[in-house]
Amino acid sequence: MESSLVLFVVLISLAIIHIVQAQDQLGFISLDCGLPASEPSRYKETYTGLWFSSDREFIQSGKTGRIKKNQEKKLLKPYTTLRYFPDGIRNCYNLTVEKGRKYLIRAYFFYENYDGLNINPKFDLYLGPNPWTTIDLQKQVNGARPEILHIPTSNSLQICLVKNGTTTPLISTLELRPMGNDSYNTESGSLSLFFSKYINRSASFLRYPNDVYDRIWDAYFQTEWTQISTALEVNNSNNYDPPKDALKSAAKPTNASAPLTIKWKSINPNDNYYVYRHFSEIQELQANETREFIMLWNGEVMSPDPIIPPKLGMTTIFSKSPRTCDGGECSFQLTRTKRSTLPPLLNAFELYSVIQFPQSETDERDGMFYVVAIKDIEATYGLSIISWQGDPCVPLRLMWEGLNCSNTDISTPPRITTLNLSSSGLTGTIAAAIQNLSKLERLDLSNNSLTGEVPEFLGNMKSLSVINLSGNNINGSIPQALQKKGLELSLEGNPRLCVSDSCIKPHKKKVLVPIVASVASAAIVIAVLILFLVLRKKRSTIVEGLHQSPRTSTVNVTFADKKSKRFTYSDLIKMTNNFQSVLGKGGFGMVYHGTVNGSEQVAVKVLSRSSTQGYKEFKAEVDLLLRVHHTNLVSLVGYCYEGDHLALIYEFLPNGDLKQHLSGKGGRSIINWSTRLRIALEAALGLEYLHIGCIPPMVHRDIKTANILLDENFKAKLADFGLSRSFQVGDKSQDSTVIAGTRGYLDPEYNHSGRLNEKSDVYSFGIVLLEMITNQPVINRASENSHITQWVGFKVNRGDIVEIMDPNLCKDYDSNSAWRALELAMSCANPSSSKRPFMSQVINDLKECIVCENSRISKNRGLESEEMNISFDTSVVPMAR
């Protein structure tokens, strides 16, 4: 009986210990990445007492690996396995967290030649849609350990590994620790760990269970210091709660009159720092002894109030605002006051740099889409799309396949506006989860094997304007809610679907024949009447034409009642000094340099008498420029119409065209990346005005770098509107009898079908943007990939932005900005017009690129930042004991 009671007590005690340990690690997430399925999915690491779990439930991609047996002994168990990602560009862990709660987020990366290839990888680490740091195991050969303090903005946190070259990303462990929200507060941004040190001659480290938050403290000491220590208990209770063992030792200057100084170098001189210093008086002071000191940052006093460390207690001193280092040289000092009899001391200190994550995640209202809806869609349709990881909309270059989003600006959460699953092999009914996308504008489920009826909820989605369900096996009838104005509904190719009232209401068949007969009779009468009027009108036009030439008639109509200033032919001779200075030549004729009123410089376009096509272009340009005005369109100063002499006079743009500045021809300067982005934005604004600001809206049809002119401040203005055509708002496209444009820039869909819309300009703009990015010829017959889109596509697969960017830029650009611009350009140049963005979205994306380029966010915040003047122990990970 007694033995049974003892056993019961032991079991209860073990259970209590287990519960206490579990409570101590409440909220901890410790993932052993790549833990084999053959091993227990959860285990206790013996040295730290931390419970690690398999990462299998948190990521849907990747393969598992293990470092070499002879390397395992030097590492703790969680760091001996890894998950690597040979497939896809972005692979993401999805973690459930508490929104608004501060977390310590840490990851470990060890290569250790696990694959026998001896190729240390380099890749990017992202926090949601934002770059966190670059993991460069080619430099950090002993491993990398990035760590941040961050407050998630939603209950879902995504840690993503992103390829930036040809090497394969990998990860060893991923660890999250909830922190107290009353510590490590910043004015803005998150905190990236620079170092965390406790003062001790020992070579050991401290972490959990010594540190309740599992921060890792490395021991640190300088030769000019003297160590002091205590065996007594030190009270560590405050918001920062450093390990008690870290406070039991301290350093003081061996020279009692000297300051205690710590220096380091900042990789980025613009970095902002927060320093946390922990002080405890651990010496027994005599009645006549006083320890009092002040703190200095780069020689400046941080606070006039002196510090007196509490006896066997603790105080933590920090700044409420971040500090920078002059020229990247950083230091803080502790200096004794005049009344102090003892030198200063320091027990422990932490240094963090501020890291900004400016890109907003996709709007939480669409959060259900990729957390719930996508899972539902994937399960319903049996899909497995590797790009469907991480944030669906941002960053732009990593947007999910088949989606488009509203990326208004970097601080506004984007919304999903397009879902395209055309030709994806879908079966079953239309997934109800789609209705969670409240801002969806376009839905394309065409050319699949979907069955069932058209769901009622599609008609209740207020933003939905285009639905393509063609080429499926949908049956039933069309819901009343979908029979509304403004909705473009494609249903052809569904033989079992009833699309007319006769299918829905059979009793109306009796009156169908009389109605059809009546309508047919009326149609015949109307057609005969229209034919008669047309023939009469045509005859009248022919008679009028006998009395005047077609050219004169058309021009009279064009120039009638226009208020633009009219010049005579003699005025042209005078302003061009008898056509002395030629600026260029086109299908319309020559362009000359001139001046008006002796000062205003102009460009004079004179129509050649022998130019038939040139005249048509000239007429179109007159029609357009006499009625439109925009800061990014070349403005019309006036015109000449005198007999057979026709000319247009424009403002003069002294910096020529964009093409010259990309090539450097004619002594033109090579423009930098930020200027190129601004020029692209201004050209896009001009195009947007043509597409939506004109009445009727216009398509330029000849967008190319030679038609983007630059003023004295390199402000961009679109020119050469001779091929411009109007199109009807709401029409998908417009038939064009003659295909027009420049080879290489010409929209292949328009070239093939002859149907014109504003997306034709978007394609040409995409080619222009690719030119600005790469400085490659649009068509290069000497290359296997002759068209610029083919050349870029080939280079993109290699994943190195440097190989794609114009070498004249000398790598002087933010790579993330470059990637965003490249993704935008390729999106614009998509062969399918339906997959191209509208110019309004192009403008928003370019603004995002400019913000990114201007901010020049530093991505290298790994442990290699510990390039310091002092000999810190830079080991990445606790070694096995």
CB atoms inside a 10 Å sphere around CB 722: 25
- Residue bearing tokens 């357009």: 624
Does 605 show up as a binding residue in the annotation?
yes
Cβ contacts of 460 within 8 Å, gap of 6 or more: 435, 481
**Strand, coil or helix: 777:** coil
Strand 698-699 and strand 725-726: pairing? antiparallel
Element (H, E) at 771: helix 758-774
Judge contact between 63 and 83, C-beta under 8 A: yes
* Residues near 177 by beta carbon (within 8 Å), at least 6 away in sequence: 27, 28, 29, 103, 104, 106, 213, 214
Q: Which tokens go with 54? A: 């398999």
Q: For 175-207, give the DSSP string.
A: EEEE--TTSS--SSSEEEEEEEEEE-S---EE-
Compute the distance between CA of residue 595 and CA of residue 571 in angstroms, rounded to an integer.
10
Let me know: does 91 contact 178? Beta carbons within 8 Å: no
Q: Residue 762: what residue type? A: V
Tell me which residue of 694, 683, 692, 693 sits closest to 764, measured CA to CA: 683
β-bridge pairing 582-586 and 589-596? antiparallel
The residues that bridge with 403 in the sheet, in sequence order, are 419
Upstream peptide bond of 696 is cis (omega within 30 degrees of 0): yes
For the chain, what percentages of helix, strand and coil (3-state, to nearest 5) are there? 30, 25, 45
Q: Are 172 and 108 in contact (CB under 8 A)?
A: yes
The CB-side HSE value for 419 (13 A sphere, CA atoms) comes to 26
Considering all CA atoms of the chain, what is the largest pairwise distance in Å, rounded to the nearest integer?
128
In whole angstroms, give the CA distance from residue 411 to residue 78: 37
Q: What DSSP string runs through 407-475?
A: ---TTSPPEEEEEE-TTS--EESPPGGGGG-TT--EEE--SSEE-SBPPGGGGG-TT--EEE--SS--B
- In this structure, the number of other CB atoms found within 10 A of the CB of residue 496 comes to 11
And the tokens for 726? 């109007």
- Residues sharing a CB contact under 8 Å with residue 613, sequence separation 6 or more, in sequence order: 587
Told to judge if 702 belongs to the known catalytic residues of this protein, a careful annotator would answer yes
Residue of 136, 241, 702, 761 marked catalytic: 702
- C-alpha 618 chain-centroid distance: 42
Instruction: Specify whether the CB–CB gap between 312 and 285 falls below 8 A.
Output: no
Query: Is residue 367 within a helix (H) or strand (E), and if so which, with residue range?
Result: helix 367-368
Is the CB of residue 79 less than 8 Å from the CB of residue 108?
yes
Q: Which residues are catalytic?
A: 702
The annotation places the binding site for ATP at 605
The annotation places the binding site at 605
